[in-house]
Structure 1
């Protein structure tokens, strides 16, 4: 069975939050920090602030959408400790 994770990373440059899904969060974080992701490369370095195991890809997409929504984004912002 495939296990997916929904994750949130925060740019140490300007504090923006990016939400994504992956089967290997550590590898994906490295890809973000190596500039291999077009949408995040201008805001390196990134720090993992949240990771949630969600099971399959369909469930992961639903959770990803939630965390990209207003209420989900607010939850992620509440995790940030400056």
Structure 2
């Protein structure tokens, strides 16, 4: 029996004013859609955060969780440097999903 492939993602969303949100999911398409629905009383709705500006893919859940914790501990400047290294124009990576 073939081994199942797993997909986990750590991602950073941003608003137009560059307020950041870091998260983790196993289904990135659905999770981005949920953020963009702007559910009341959520951080992403309050600050209008919905543009995917950075993400990483993992096959092991513990690696993804560890990376999310690592990124959440980073200061804002370090997160911005990471985003700009991969996505210097802060384009929405999920715009055409």
TM-score category (smaller protein): 0.7 to 0.9
More strand by share: 1
Greater RCO, 1 or 2 (C-alpha within 8 Å, sep 6+)? 1
Structure number with greater Rg is 2
Q: State the TM-score, normalized to the length of structure 1.
A: 0.78
Stretches of structure 2 that go unaligned for 5 or more consecutive residues are: 91-97
Aligned to 1:28: 31
Shift of 1:55: 1.6
Number of matched residues? 80
Please report the TM-score for the alignment, with normalisation by the length of structure 2.
Answer: 0.68
Q: Flag as ranges the 4+ runs of structure 1 deviating above 2 A.
A: 73-76
Structure 1 gaps of 5+ residues are none
